[in-house]
Structure 1
Amino acid sequence: MPHTFDLLVIGDANPDVVLGPLDEPLAFGQREQLVPTGVLTLGGSAAITACGAAKLGLRVAIAGRVGDDDAGRFVRAALQARGVDTTALGTDPDLPTPLTAVVARDGDRAILTSSGTLAATGPADVPEEWLTTSRHVHAASYFLMPKLAAALPDLLRTARAHGATTSLDTNDDPAGRWDPDSIAAVLSETDILLPNAQEALALAGQASKEPEEAAGRLAGRGPLVVVKDGARGALAHDGRTVRRARGLTVRPRDTVGAGDSFDAGYVAAVLRGLPPREALALAAACGSLSTRAHGGTDAQPTWDEALAAVTHNGENE
């Protein structure tokens, strides 16, 4: 059976309001604080990854759920405008589309999300036909969608049984539990785990003190572990070999979604057959280049732009 899509992304899609940077702590007491920039843009780890992969030339679909409201229509239109198939992005008649506010300060950011349809998103939102006819299946924001998380091992197992490779970016756990039992179940069906450094340490447990050590522990549970480490670049650990790539030297305007753009770059590189070291370098370039504009999607690179950046970065080593 021919592949319908190169990549099926499962997870969250919502509008982001990105504000900042603040030059003082966030104030309550009905104080009004002014910031130099604000943007309404497409958000959600799954949505940003899907857009990044489409920009890199993959045939991409997203599966999830939004509300029957203006926010949901905004999300659907933004995804479609970036070349992502939204046929499997369901519309909930009762629950609202999730909303996220991102406030930046001192190179860091606070993220506030109203869950809306996230808690109701489950396995019924993922068409089995697309699991069985996609080359790769990527899941995002594991801890935000408990019904989907519980079913994810079975969903990924189905995809793998039909020849697909799989990846997971858990993102943060708002509850701070990092549920080791459920993570073990999903990692056994995951080919590529894509945490950032803090997430890798949390997923691996308190015994891990450094991202490389955490990656090694996680790789022992089955997946290739690819860790995004901010300005230090990225590393990949397969349980035996550690590879590293440095990020590009850019002046970031906004780091929202950089990790999701990295995910898109790594998946695209693997699907295009790049060797491990080159795949890591291209992913790091995609993450770095995405910071050139506010919001997670407006500065995502094309494949040629990412390759050119990798070549230029190598020449300057």
Structure 2
Amino acid sequence: MMIEIPNGGCTRSMEVVTFGETMVMFNPDSTGPLRYVHNYNKTIAGAESNVAIALARLGHQVGWFSKLGDDEFGRYIKSVIMGEGVDVSRVVVDESRQTGLVFKERFAHVNPNVYYYRKHSAASNINIEDLDMAYIQLAKILHITGITPALSDVNKKTAYHIMEKAKEKGVLISFDPNIRLKLWRAEEARTTILDMAKQSDIIFPGIDEGELLLGMDDYQEITHSFLEMGNKLVVTKLGKKGCYVASKDEQVYIEGYVVEKPEDTVGAGDGFAAGFLSGLLRNLSLRECGQLANAVGAMATLVRGDMEGFPTMSQVKNFMGIEKYIDR
């Protein structure tokens, strides 16, 4: 492995800590415009909590924190994430703001439309004063995404603060750009995401993000550009084609898994990131990390919902047809 995972023995209380907004999602049980839909399944949606849940299912100690409204939706989110084995002890409840909501709209076998109701939500106001930095600084890896700073100037300031303080204690910074242009202008997104990327150790760009951030659509050029920025490890997502992983000493392309008729692609990238981080924590090779990431990401698309398809380790081993290397 070309990147060192902080050890610290029992002083590192969590393997991965992550934070960001999670919303209650209403997933329609039928296709078509929402004005004709009358029944929904209630679940949760949030990139960071997706990663946390996926890692917990793979057997890791994970913490997630955010700000939730003092409402039934907030209590539901906390209960679901805690029930998945994720530590939620640092979640803050805001009595003055509400928990965000999101609705999906489905049309046959295409990616769903997504409608957010999150403006001025509790999670868009995560302040530095809400943080337990000692908890964050005791993690091996801090995983963040570009969604959090897009929600508000307050969140952006907090995200920068967390990254700075975590790096001071040797915590590895894992960063998924996860650009959402519905949340901010392209130029602001580009400037902020590139700045955060330069402060990260591990980054998970996609081809679309490489085009927006760097003006490149070649995965090797994208990967090596991020390495030149100072990232220790760049994991470029290629969708069903797999991924390309590179450190300064090693570069490897890993072929993906083909899912003929995916049920839902939302959450696949989060599962991919979780699979890769799981491989790092298990001290696997870059190729093995990429294979595990591809498998978890592919399995996420087999089930309707953002996080429902994330596998346990025994399930992903069965999917991959292997039994040995990921037991390290």
Q: TM-score, normalised by structure 2?
A: 0.84
Q: CA deviation at 1:68?
A: 0.7
> Unpaired segments of 5 or more residues in structure 1?
313-317
Q: Which amino acid aligns with 2:22?
A: A
CA distance in 2: counterparts of 1:212 and 1:111, whole angstroms: 31
Q: Decide whether the 8 Å contact of 2:51 with 2:270 is kept in 1.
A: yes
Return the letter of the residue paired with 1:124.
E
Q: How far off is 1:138 after superposition? A: 0.4
The structure 1 residue matched to 2:275, chosen from 252, 265, 268, is: 265
Runs of 4+ in 1 over 6 A off after TM superposition: none
Distance in 1 between residues matched to 2:249 and 2:211, nearest whole Å: 18
1:263-302 to 2 correspondence within 5 Å? 263-302=273-312
What does 1:216-295 align with in structure 2 at a 5 Å threshold? 216-223=224-231, 224-238=233-247, 241-250=250-259, 251-295=261-305
Check if 1:76 corresponds to 2:81: no
How far apart, in 1, do the equivalents of 2:230 and 2:320 lie?
A: 29
Separation of aligned partners in 1, 2:313 and 2:199: 28
Q: Please, what is the CA RMSD of the aligned residues?
A: 2.5
**Residue identity opposite 1:157 in structure 2:** E
TM-aligned CA distance change 1:263 to 1:114, over 3 Å = same
2:139 corresponds to 1:129:
no
CA contact (8 A) 2:137 2:171 kept: yes
Select 2:163's aligned residue among 152, 156, 179. 156
The aligned length equals 304
Match of 2:115 among 112, 117, 120: 112
2:285 corresponds to which letter in structure 1? P
SS of equivalent to 2:234:
strand
Measure, in 2, the Cα distance between the counterparts of 1:186 and 1:75. Answer: 28
Amino acid at match of 1:280: G
Q: CA deviation at 1:13?
A: 1.3
Cα deviation for residue 45 of structure 1 reads 0.4
Relative distance call for 1:302 and 1:237 in structure 2 (3 A) is same
Structure 2 vs 1, CA of residues 284 and 122 (structure 1 numbering), >3 Å: closer, same or farther? Answer: farther
> 2:86, 2:173 → 1: CA distance?
19
State the alpha-carbon separation in 1 of the partners of residues 82 and 30 from structure 2.
Answer: 30
Give the deviation of 1:43 after TM superposition. Answer: 0.8
Change (3 A) 1:125 1:170: farther
Please report how far the alpha carbon of residue 20 of structure 1 lies from its aligned counterpart in structure 2 after TM superposition.
6.9
Pairing 1:18-97 to 2, within 5 Å after superposition: 18-19=27-28, 22=31, 26=33, 32-34=35-37, 38-97=40-99
SS of the equivalent of 1:298 reads coil
* Aligned equivalents of 1:21, 1:178: Cα separation in 2: 37
Q: Deviations over 1:183-202 (max 9, x none)?
A: 33322321111233322322
CA drift at 1:145: 4.4
2: distance between equivalents of 1:168 and 1:124? 23
**How far 1:284 moved relative to its partner?**
0.8
Q: Distance in 1 between matches of 2:185 and 2:246?
A: 24
How far does the alpha carbon of each residue in 1:29-82 deviate from its partner, in whole angstroms, 9 at most, with x for none? xxx4359x9532121101111100110111111121111111101100100110
Identity, % of aligned positions = 22
Contact 2:177–2:193 under 8 Å retained in 1: no
Task: Give CA-to-partner distance per residue, 1:274-296, whole Å, 9 cap, x none.
Answer: 11111011011011111222112
In structure 2, the gaps of 5 or more residues are 1-9, 323-328
Change (3 A) 1:211 1:38: farther
